[in-house]
Amino acid sequence: PRAPRFQVTCAAKAETVKKVSDIVIKQLALPEGSTVTGESKFSALGADSLDTVEIVMGLEEEFGISVEEESAQSITTVQEAADLIDKLLETKSA
């Protein structure tokens, strides 16, 4: 049994993290039942730089946002993607 890990609360809404996880699973064609969490690193899931670009494009389409290339290149985890999306959505609605 694993010891409970320290849980970090973050800016992104749980539903955003869930949507990002779903898109990552779809884009990477991960097996059904794959667990993708906020802490999941794209590289650990087998994503290369092209996969990451496709993930970002999928996120842009899903959320109706535009991610700048510099921001897109800095995203390495599901959580970072979700945080960026929530930030962009807030900016868009302001």
* Residue 29: CA count within 13 A, CB half-sphere: 1
**Cα gap 15→73, rounded to integer Å:** 23
Q: Residues 52-78: pLDDT tens digits? A: 999 999 999 999 999 998 888 899 999
Q: Residue written as tokens 């921001």?
A: 71
Domains along the sequence of the chain with CATH:
14-93 (1.10.1200.10)
- Tell me the three state secondary structure of residue 16: helix
Q: Residues 9-59: pLDDT tens digits? A: 456 899 999 999 999 999 999 998 899 999 999 999 999 989 999 999 999
pTM: 0.82
Q: What is the pLDDT of residue 51?
A: 94
- Tell me the three state secondary structure of residue 25: helix
Catalytic residues: 48
**Cα gap 34→11, rounded to integer Å:** 24
Tokens describing residue 21? 């996880």
